[in-house]
Structure 1
Amino acid sequence: MTNNAWLNSPRERSNISENRRFSYKELKLITANFREEIGRGGFGVVFLGYLANESPVAVKIRSKTSSQGDKEFQSEAQHLSRVHHRNLVSLIGYCKDKKHLALVYEYMHGGDLEDRLRGEASVATPLSWHRRLKIALDSAQGLEYLHKSCQPPLIHRDVKTKNILLSANLEARISDFGLMKVFANEFVTHITTQPAGTLGYLDPEYYNTSQLSEKSDVYSFGVVLLELITGQPPAISTSDTESIHIAHWVRQKLSEGNIESIPDSKVGGEYDVHSLWKVTELALQCKEKPSRERPTMTDVVAELKECLELEASRGIGSYSSVTSSTNNLSERSADLHNDAQASDIPAKRT
């Protein structure tokens, strides 16, 4: 597809017609001449803007200098115009004005999940365990929609905490559809495509075989779950020169039966231990190899709903049940495959 060709087909014109078309002059006006930058990526820069009714929006401008930005931009424009779910970021409009291409989408007041876990926002307003479970469920439901409800199915390919945005009420929505791939039809189990993704989240099986399936997103989501549990990044530094993958770190703690050292200290010990172990095991199952042994996102959604129910009934458990849960999960984690090469996979965005 050549530059600016993403609106030239009848199908794409039909999809995008539901959204408002902005001129570049209008974008300069609503962003106060692109005054406040709120994000940056391979596609270019995102600016804060305000519509005439004072509603805040995020304006994503395609970079003129980034070769990958144009491809990602076109992909995101096409996909956002046809997917609609409460846990996916919503497209408001677009700009195709001579050489200027831009997307205008809803502004998420809560920022991104990565910052809420480890940035300045994590200190000011730390996330409770219940809220982390709700964010996990919201995100899982967004991915389940892409995998199961879209026809043909869609694979995100870049699931990570940076691409999970939060509303003012901390409701989670999946964003950044620039790497998304479409399956030919719902009966295809995988497609062959050049691996792409982000360091620490990229499925080793997909990287090694170039065979992409919905289970590649499941693997990445498993890493997100581990981040929600621990507050740690995908690569945890063990010294000035060495680091291990978050999954290895968690397994080490499990083998020691050291439950207290696994959850993020910002949670403050306020959690149901059974829901904690259940989510931890689910996260490690998402990262199992081969991919056929991983759960589907539908399975993940069901498990997370059960975890929320356990958290809601917190206070019923006893010390003996905690010890039993610890021993059972330690045995289970010892059976899981070693993900040593996961942290060695280079980041690729194509």
Structure 2
Amino acid sequence: MDSGQILLSYIKVWVILLLLSATFQNSKLAAKNTAQDKKRKLAAENSGFISIDCGAEEDYLDGDTGITYKTDKDFISTGKNKVVAPEHNLTTLYYGNMANSLRTFPEGKRNCYTLKPRQGKNQNYYVRAFFYYGNYDSKNQTQIKFDLYIGVNHWTTVVDMQWTYYEIIHYSVTDTIYVCLVNTGFGVPFINGLDLRFMNDSPYRSMNGSLIPKVLADLGGLDPTLGAMRYKDDVYDRIWRLDVNLNDSVSNSTEANIDIQGSDDPCRLPVEVLRTAVQPRNGHNSLSYSYTLRHRENFTPEFLVFFHFAEIEQIAPGERREFTITLNGLNYGPFTLEYLKPLTIGPYKLQVPEDQVRFSIDATLRSDLPPILNAFEIFKLWPLPDSPTNQTDVDAIMAIKEAYKIDRVDWQGDPCLPLTTWTGLLCNDDNPPRIISLNLSSSQLSGNIAVSLLNLTAIKSLDLSNNELTGTVLEAFAQLPHLTILDLSGNKLTGAIPHSLKEKSNSRQLQLSLDGNLDLCKMDTCEKKKRSFPVLVIAFVISVSVLLLLNIITIFWRLKIGRLNVSLSSLVGLSRKELSLKSKNQPFTYTELVSITNNFQTIIGEGGFGKVYLGNLKDGRQVAVKLLSQSSRQGYKEFLAEKIAQIC
């Protein structure tokens, strides 16, 4: 083999090795990308997600987050879709197209989105609302202000005109969550987006209220000028702030894999947050931070604080990283970390009379390395003083609304709270409140009286007057324990007034109004007629049945006799005229009859009184001879003298 062939062989070997190497690297990259894509789909495909782009014309998939955004048409029936002015369009990373469309509410005091997560009541939910004015009305307004409610309780007051969002972790005691915008007289309320995330059994909860996220800090990570970031593998889809600075700190990071799926850390932070951290600068041994409330409350606020760690450095043998946490003067620790293993310390609950949360993380005297911190979260406990309306009453009034197709702007959200009740409703001050009065007079109602009205068991006054209601008056109204006023006048009701209602009316326990129902029977005779009606019907049916049976028997008998006569007539071949002429008053002796019938040889029929025999007269004519039976009322001797008729 010459040198050229040897060189060519080496080249072939190297090409094969390069191809194998490239294939191996590509397979590793594909596997890595598949794993990452799988994780990144975790948040987007979470069945506990509701993502609404308010004002959007159609659903769409956001490529940055993998989240499918729905239009809001299935969540609210009021308001108008708008778009921001072209010069105010925003390209917002990780927020879909929400910044460029919105829904406004020029009508109604309160307009509510209705969210029905499939996980139902007694669960924790992360709710987030987005707002951006964007000069959609070309008025360049700067003073718009309105209130935002979660259920029946105040959440926040929206005052920012630039792109902003508000968050709350809400423990819902009902299957339905209402997010309501309340007009306070300072401009038309609007909203750009609404998110709901199911929190499962996370540690983010307060049984006595909700949690308002104040700071969710991702430390040591991306460019702080980005402001905030949401990560695809965050199962709770939190928005992390990148611009939080701890005093005199520097960033640190790793590309090593951190197994968040196999971790028992309950907060389930995304891996991108855990891969970065901060530590003191220039060999210092302390990290510190303070948060001050913007607005003072009329109560002493409470906070929950979470600290998140993951050791991202491989510490040399014999060295240790050990630290303590001081939170508003309270000391916790010492703590140590394991390499690449997530650790959440907290939550710590504290009251803050001075409206400030302060903490420091300090290395212990035994520590060889400075402290680190990957992330932290500060939540404000938000009291929920008001309870939603009694659920039975809510279900009843919703069924009434559906039955009569009531379309009123203010019939949305909770019926009794927060500020004013629905038009036509009055509620008491119980906890939870109850519906005690319902006025649907002159509301164009039609059809029967809805049985769901009977589920308003605390109601005192019910006015359904001047509508187009038909059918009968429900006797069960008498069973409502608190009902003292029932106005059904001016309808088209029929039938009798239930006796129990008349008794309550006569005893003045119930003010009953039925005037204007022209077909409604108000006298006792209606009841008597009503009672006698079944008896008359039964008697009539029996009489008709008997007559019909007798007619059938008669017809059957006549047909039978008719068939016999036809047969005999055919047999003898004589006309009826001839028979009547020849047989009149012609007597025969018994001896003659024996001769005529050939000793009663041929039977041609049998009737109820005896047998009929064929006979032949001397002139050749055929005759029928009837012989009376012994059981007949007529005697045998008398029959011998009876006339005989010829067969026609």
TM-score between the two structures when normalised by the length of structure 2: 0.19
Larger of the two Rg values belongs to structure = 2
TM-score between the two structures when normalised by the length of structure 1: 0.30
Higher helix share: 1
Higher strand share: 2
